[in-house]
Each structure stands twice: as structure tokens, then as C-alpha cells.
Amino acid sequence: MTELEFNNNTDVSNSVTHYVEVLIPLALPRNYTWKVPVEMLHLVQPGGRVEVILGRNKKYAGIVKRLHTNKPAAFEPKEILNVLDDAPIVFSQQLDFWEWMAHYYLCSEGEVMQAALPTHFKLSSETVLLFNDEAGDDFSHLDDEEFLVAEALSIRKELRLAEVQQLLDVSHVYPVIKRLLEKNICLVWEELKHTYKEKKETFVLLHPKYMQEEALAELMNTWGKAPKQLELLLAYLHLSKTEGQVTQPELLKKSGASAAQLKGLVEKGVLLTEKRSVDRLQQLPKEISINFQLTAVQELALEQVKKHLEQKQVCLLHGITSSGKTLVYIRMMEDAIRQGKQVLYMLPEIALTAQVIRRLQLYFGGYIVIYHSRFNPNERVELWNKVKSGEAKIVLGARSSLFLPFRNLGLVICDEEHDPSFKQQDPAPRYNARDAAIYLASLFRAKVLLGSATPSLESYYNAMQGKYGLVEMTQRFGDIALPEIELVDTKNIRTADKSKPIITPALQQAVEDCLTRSKQVILFQNRRGYSPYQVCQSCGWIPHCKNCDVSLTFHKLQNKLVCHYCGTTYPPVTVCEACGNHHFTQQNFGTERIEEALQEIFPKARIARMDMDAVKGKHAHDALIQLFEQHRIDILVGTQMVVKGLDFEHVALVGILDADAILGFADFRVNERGFQLMEQVSGRAGRKGEQGKVLIQVRNTSHPVLQFVRAHDYQAFVQTELQNRQQFGYPPFSRMIQLTFKHKLQETVVAAARQMADWMKPAFGHYLIGPAAPVVNRVRNQYIMELMIKLPKDLHLLQQCKDQVHLLTAHLHQQQPFKSVVVIPDIDPL
Ligand code: ADP
Ligand code: ZN
Ligand code: ZN
């Protein structure tokens, strides 16, 4: 294993002038160079931050990428002002990773750095500091300069860095701020994240003196009166064994005890209660306790995975839903951390639920840390440092956890590897976390395990070609059969207003059956809101957003029309703007409408909705999952959110309400997405006990994807779909680059896109598709054009094309009319 500390620079000769290449968290066309004053030379190190001036007077904390002695020929560099860190905040692997990402995804290293670093590490003249109210007013431990700033902050509550400069000797500002941040006196304001509220819950713990088994046995053997308290204690011990952490409400509910009884035990010094953040796990003991046995099938899969990974860097685990992939991951992770390596376990953000966290924490306790976008800045820094020091062994996170400063990564697990949300859309870097993880792992010679019940065609093709190892698990745990799938033809079902039926008689019957048997139901619709649009009954006019070229969705609860592209809301229309008619019908239906229909049909059932409107924030999502888990909800209606990797015991029926909407997109990936979505939703049915059932409501019953879903035949699906892709030259048989052009004038954006295409034609004419306006060709008052480039698989050609795009974009921006056209390259778009 490589040693990751950087060489310190004690041996460099002081007589030659030294320079540093510094990364600044901005979209700059290239990296800039500064001169190192002799007296700072021994302090400068790659991965550490320095304070520099950019332009006339903008200051930044940048990261040193490289220390060298090559004087730039064209200009005289300025000197760095301060060295901020005595230890690097990232290792060489991260710097290499950033460089690769910028090159591969056509953005600047500064943009990657911007995405990678927690806000607290990114200081600039624009930074706004906030006083941390939790810091109190005892500043006696601060030095004079720190005190000055702290006092000003405690009075003013916030200060710009530029204002701090008026308080202090200019040359000291950044180091002082850095120390105040480390001492938690202040925070850096973050525009998007300032609504974060940590969720606290009361946890129950065993008093440390009873952690020893003998002490506990002694206590129970000599238990006097209060049998109820003893019962409560036993319930606690049971829960802590099965769940890891025990919350007070959960304990009281499961034990049937009262709060007073719990208080009694706390007063006796047997149990403790503690308010803590639900996401924080550091109090758990650092120990591994794997208390399950793999089945023979799983054991074989594990052996095969290990074997492949001896030869190959990447292995794909294709295991049907509920085959126990998580257990195979757990055993792989165990191996890695026993060898002293770190593990990154990546999941799509929505799948990162308390359910998954609890499950893993049961086995790995305090070795696990969690990273997601809803952490506050302090927590992010804390976590950053834990990963850097190696204290955190397993990081469970969404795509951005790739950027954490791992020091000896040994294994990356990418669960639900097919999931489109691994792709970052906006802003740059527009990376695919699955693909980037493979590169990151290679920098550490680490192994990668991709897992899914419905692998992406890219990964499966790579596995078929022998580039990745391939292991398949085709049996559900407990040998439960995959759910039976039935198509409900909606073509001939008439509703009163001739709209699409929401809940067909067949589905209604099936739901009723479930409810009488005390089973749970999940209904899936890929559309939120009440009805996707209102349509004028006489002329067909549909209200559109004023800023975007899309129709508006009616949300009944808010009684508003909402644009799902820009978020603008409008009052519902009562008069047609085209013909003056007063009558509108609602066409199609979203989750809100389904919920309403269900309430009418099943007035006694407990119904809940899970979508972006009903579930704001991670905790609401988790709370709903928990309610459903505890069977306090009978029917769950939801969008994508209900699909992701959840494991419920009592779901006997899944309904897919409008498969035509899933299969109707004009995109070459539509079949793949449709298959994945339907197979994954189906996978939530009948995971424990009896076989589940899935009803799919659809008009186009002969759509080929439906036949594959019905048979749960991934292989046949892949064979057919790969043939299609090959015939039309789509990935995985080609590589795509998408260029998006945006401008507020339509003529300008069209002309710019055409100009670009013309310039590309000589070398890449064969491979261009478009330019063309996308289906939604105006968003937030900007017109949009797209140019697709579909290249044969040839790394050299791909590189050539990226270079051209880079060059020609700069060229385009030099043309007067196109100066302000935004050009966004997207490599391997989804
Ligand atoms: P997948 O991720 O493949 O969909 P999971 O790992 O969630 O499947 O497993 C499905 C369910 O079966 C889980 O509740 C899991 O705890 C249980 N399970 C799977 N394998 C075993 C095993 N070997 N021992 C005990 N429980 C298992
Ligand atoms: Zn009309
Ligand atoms: Zn809009």
C-alpha cells in the first residue's frame, strides 16, 4: 500500500525561487501560478491551502497543487500572502482525482474543487461569516486578534471577510478566520444549505457500568421489586441487539411500558437517555459483529466475487431483488476493514434512508459514518477530518461522498449502480459517480463492486465483454418466488369524463383483498401533483408556464398550477385564454389525485403519499418509511421515492398505475429505464413469507418491455435491447457527448448551435445529431438548443472530440453575437 503523506519540503534549496500552482474554487480556464516567499517555503505543501490575490484585490484560500521552480515565461507572478494549513487537507490521490475529473468531464479543476470541498475550507473576499450562537460569550481562550473578530461577530452576527479586513492587519485575516472556524466561534454562510435543521431524538442507552455481562447478570439476579421495570429492561436489551440504537418512543411502544417506568430505570442508574442527532453514530462502539450466515447461494456468490476481484478491478453483482446483495456487501466490507482499509459504500441519495443506515450500523457500529448533502457545514468538516485521519472506516454516502479525503481506500461498493441519480446534472462537474468511483479506486488500487437487480446496459455489457467480473444471484432469500405480474388493459375501460382510469376494477379488487388480509399495498405513479394539466374542453388549450415551454401541473391541496421546471406557481385558470370557454377537464393524474381517489374508495384504509411535495426533507422521508415499516400505513402512494432499495415485510401487492407514461418517452434509454423502474417497484412486493403480486395498468399491452417484466427476464431484455442499441449505434456501442446551448434570445441560441455544428462538421460530421430544440425548449426564460455527438468507441477519437469542443467553445465566445451564449458540455449524458 502506498504511503500517503506528502514529502515535506525541508530538503529544497532556498536559493532558487519557488512557485506554486494553486487551485481556486472558481470556473477558471486554467490554473494559475504564484511565487512563494522564501520565508514561507518550508510551510508550503501540496494539498494544503494558501491565501492568494486574484485580479486586482480578490482574495481566495486556494489549494496548492504543485510546488515547482519553473518561472512562468509570460508574466511575473504575485506572491502568496499566507500559508493556512500545517497539514494538507487533501492527499495526492484527491488532487489527481480532481484533475482527471476536470479533463474527463470538460470542466475546470476549480469547479471540481468547488464541488468537493466543504464550505468551511473555501474562503474568499465574498465569504460571509456567521456568529455561532452555540459558542457562548466566553472568549478567554482566544488571542487578541481572534478576540477582536469574535467580539465584532457576537455583536453584528455576520461579517463579510472584506469587513474583517478592516479590523485586522491585512496580512493576518485568513489565518485568524481559519482558527476561529476551527474553534467553532463562527460558521461560513451557505446560501442553499442554511435551512438545515438537525433532527434530534431521545436515545436510550445502557449505563456503562452494565456493559460487562457479569455486572448485568448480577443486576438481574438480584432484581428486587418493580417487575415492570425489569420487563422494560429486557425489552431494551432485546431491541438494542436487533436494532443497534434504541430510541425512547420505539422502546416505549414495543415494550408497552410507560414513560414513568423508564424514568424509574434512569433514576436507578440502569439506563441513560440522551438527546442526539439521528444521523450521528459516533457514540456506537467500534466493533464488528456479523451475526448472520450466508445461504449457500450467497456464499458461492461471495466466493466468486472475491475470485474475480483477484484478477479484475471491477465486479458486477447482478442479484434479483431480495436475493441478499446487501449481505454479500457486508462480508466484503468486513474483509476490507479487517485489512485496515477504508470502504466507500455509495447509494442513490433517496435510498440513503434510516432503514439502510440502521441495518449496516448493526454490523459495523461506530466504524460507519454517513455523508449526505443535508449535513451542516460543521458536521461536514468533522466528517472530512475523520475520513482523512482514517478513523472512519466505512463511509456510507451519496455521489458526493466520492470527494472525501480517503487515505487508504480498499473497496468501493456502488449499490443500485443502474440508478440515474448517480449522474450529477447541474452544476459542473457533470460526473457519473459510478464511473468516477472506478477511476478513484484505481488511484488506490482498490476494488469496486457494482450491484443491482437491474444492471445498466453499460455495466452489463462490460461484464459480458470480460472487462468486469460478473456474478449472478437468481434466487430470493428464503426461496420466495418473484411476484406474479398481471397486466390490466385500460384500453376499453370507460370513465364518466373519458379520462384515463385511475384505479381499475381489477386493481380495486386486489387492493381490497390485501386489506382484508392485513397486507400492505404500494401504488406507483411517476408523476406528482394532482393532474398534469388542465385542458380546455372546447378548444384543447392548455395553460403554460410564462418562463418555460411546459404545461402546468395542477396541485389541488395548494389550489395552484405549478411549473415543475422552474417552480413558479399560478392561480388555477377558470377561463380559457384561447376561446373564453369556462370548462376545463383534468387530463391524466398524479399522486395527489390517486391519494384522493383511494380515500373515496377505501375510506377506512390508512393511506399515505410519498413524493417531493408530501415529503420535504430527509427526516420526513424516513419517518414515513418507518410508519410503513411498522404497518401503521396500509397503502403507500408514491413516485420514484418508493422504488429505491427498500425492504418491507408485509407488502403483498404493488400497483403500477400508468405504465404508458413510463414507456412513452422519446429517448433511447426509455426501454432500459422502463424495465428497471417496473422491475424495481415490483421487487418491493412479497419479500417475506408468501409470493407477492403486481398489477400493471396499461393501454399499450403489447409493448415488448412488458413481456420481459412479466417474466422477470433480465437476460432476455438485455439481449434484445443490446441488439437495438447496436443497430442504432447507441451506448454501450458508442460514446455520447451532449452540448446544450442556452440564451435568452431564440435566434441567437439557434445560430450559435448551428455555428458550432458547422465548425465540427469537417472532423465529426458523421457523428453529429442536430442541432435541435429539445422537447422543452425554454426554461427559466432561456431558450435551449442541443447538439448530440455520437462517437464510435475509440478513446483517441473521444479525446480529439473533447479537445475540439473545448477549443470551439472558446472560439464561439469570441464572436460578438455569441459572447453570452452558455455552452454546457455533458460527457456520457443520461
Ligand atoms: P437485496 O439487496 O438483494 O434486494 P437484501 O440484502 O435486502 O436483498 O435481502 C433481502 C432480505 O432478506 C433482507 O431482509 C435480509 O435481511 C434477508 N436476508 C437475506 N439473506 C439473508 C441471510 N443469509 N440471513 C438472514 N437474512 C437474510
Ligand atoms: Zn378554449
Ligand atoms: Zn416554468
pLDDT at residue 7, as a whole number: 47
Question: Which residue has the least CA distance to atom 19 on ligand 1?
Answer: 324
Contact, 457 vs 732, CB < 8 A?
yes
Mean pLDDT of 474-488: 90
Specify the DSSP class assigned to residue 498: S
CA atoms within 13 A on the CB side of 577: 7
Ligand 1 atom 9: residue of nearest CA: 324
Q: Hey, which of 290, 299, 322 would you mutate to test ligand 1's pocket, going by the most ligand atoms within 8 Å of its Cβ?
A: 322
Average pLDDT over residues 811-827: 94
Of 571, 611, 567, the closest CA to residue 589 belongs to 611
The model's pLDDT over 227-239, given as tens digits with 9 standing for 90+, comes to: 888 888 888 888 8
For the chain, the average pLDDT equals: 87
Residue 407 has pLDDT above 90, yes or no: yes
- Ligand nearest the Cα of residue 478 is 1
Residues of the binding site for Zn(2+): 536, 539, 545, 548, 563, 566, 576, 579
CA distances from 113 to 24, 110, 244, 390, 734 (A): 8, 5, 36, 21, 30
Which stretch of 89-98, 443-452, 484-493, 582-591 has the lowest confidence by average pLDDT?
582-591
pLDDT at 277: 61
Our answer on whether the CB atom of 292 is closer than 6 Å to any ligand 1 atom is yes
pLDDT of residue 278: 56
Res. 2 pLDDT band, cuts 50 70 90: very low
| String of DSSP letters for 98-151 | HHHHHHHTTS-HHHHHHHHS-GGG--BTT-EEEE-GGG-S--TTS-HHHHHHHH
Among 3.40.50.300, 1.10.3720.10, 3.90.580.10, 3.40.1440.60, what is the CATH number of 296-478? 3.40.50.300
Average pLDDT over residues 200-209: 81
Atom in ligand 1 nearest the alpha carbon of residue 359: 16
For residue 745, how far is its CA from the centre of ligand 3 (angstroms)?
A: 17
Q: Which atom of ligand 1 is nearest to the CA of 295?
A: 23
Confidence class of residue 201 from pLDDT cuts 50, 70 and 90? confident
pLDDT given for residue 559 in this prediction: 85
Measured by CA distance, the residue closest to atom 14 of ligand 1 is 647
Ligand 1 atom nearest residue 321's Cα: 4
The radius of gyration of the chain's CA atoms, rounded to the nearest angstrom, is 29
Please state the φ and ψ torsions of residue 126, each to the nearest 5 degrees. Answer: -80, -15
223 lines ligand 1 (CB under 6 A): no
Helices of type H across 656-794: 659-663, 670-682, 704-711, 714-728, 746-764
Cα dihedral 810/814/820/822 (nearest 10) = -20
The mean-pLDDT minimum among 54-68, 119-133, 645-659 falls in 119-133
504 ligand 1 Cβ < 6 A = no
Give residue 510's pLDDT band: very low, low, confident or very high (50, 70, 90). very high
Residue 193 has a pLDDT of 38
When pLDDT is averaged across residues 382-401 and rounded to a whole number, the result is 92
- Residue 556 confidence (pLDDT): 81
Beta strands (DSSP E) in 484-590 are 484-489, 520-524, 533-536, 553-555, 560-562, 569-570, 584-587
Cross-strand bridge partners of residue 790: 736
Q: How many percent of the chain have pLDDT more than 70? A: 94
pLDDT tens digit sequence for 563-572? 887 888 999 8
Give pLDDT tens digits for 709-768.
999 999 999 999 999 999 988 999 999 999 999 999 999 999 999 999 999 999 999 999
Write the DSSP assignment of 573-624 as a string of letters.
Answer: P-S-TTT----EEEES--HHHHHHHHHHH-TTS-EEEESTTT--SHHHHHHH
What is the predicted pLDDT for the residue at 197? 46
CA distance 478 to 322: 9
Is residue 294 lining ligand 1, measured as CB closer than 6 Å? Answer: yes
Residue 244 pLDDT more than 70?
no
Atom 23 (ligand 1) nearest CA:
294
**pLDDT for position 194:** 35
Per-residue confidence (pLDDT) for residue 196, from 0 to 100: 38
pLDDT at 377 over 80: no
Helix, strand, coil shares of the chain, percent, nearest 5, are 40, 20, 40
Q: List, for residues 647-700, the tens digit of each pLDDT value.
A: 788 899 999 999 988 887 767 898 999 999 999 988 888 877 788 999 999 988
Cα separation, 742 vs 729, in Å, equals: 27
Quick: pLDDT tens for 456-480.
999 999 999 999 999 999 998 888 8
Cα of 391 from ligand 3 centre, angstroms:
46
Q: What is the topology classification, in CATH, of domain 3-121?
A: GIY-YIG endonuclease (3.40.1440)
Q: Characterize 735-756 residue by residue with b for buried, 16 or more Cβ atoms within 10 angstroms of its Cβ, and e for exposed.
A: bbbbbbbbbeeeebbbbbbebb
- Which carries the bigger pLDDT value, residue 588 or residue 827? 827
Was domain 484-530+589-724 assigned CATH 3.40.50.1000? no
Taking CA atoms only, the protein residue closest to ligand 1 atom 10 is: 322
Domains 296-478 and 484-530+589-724 share a fold: yes
- The half-sphere exposure of 711 on its side-chain side, counting CA atoms within 13 A, is 9
CA-326 nearest atom, ligand 1: 6
pLDDT of res. 471: 98
Q: What is the pLDDT of residues 767-779, one digit of tens each?
A: 998 898 887 888 8
Answer whether residue 420 shows pLDDT above 70: yes
293-307, 521-535, 628-642: the lowest-pLDDT one: 521-535
> Is the confidence at residue 11, as pLDDT, over 60?
no
- Where along the chain do its domains lie? 3-121, 128-194, 200-277, 296-478, 484-530+589-724, 734-827
Q: Are 760 and 768 in contact, with CB atoms under 8 Å apart?
A: yes
Give the integer Cα–Cα distance in Å for 330 and 328.
5
Does residue 281 surpass a pLDDT of 80? no
Looking from the CA of residue 320, the nearest atom of ligand 1 is 3
CA atoms within 13 A on the CB side of 261: 20
Percent of the chain clearing pLDDT 90 (strictly above) = 47
Q: Strand 520-524 and strand 651-656: pairing?
A: parallel
Burial environment of residue 441 by CB neighbours within 10 A (0 to 12, 13 to 18, 19 or more): buried
- The verdict on the CB of residue 474 being under 6 Å from ligand 1 is no
Residue among 300, 477, 648 whose CB has most ligand 1 atoms within 8 A, to mutate: 477
Fold designation for 734-827:
Alpha-Beta Plaits (3.30.70)
| Per-residue pLDDT at 645 | 60
* Nearest one of 726, 743, 661, 666 to 699, comparing CA atoms: 661
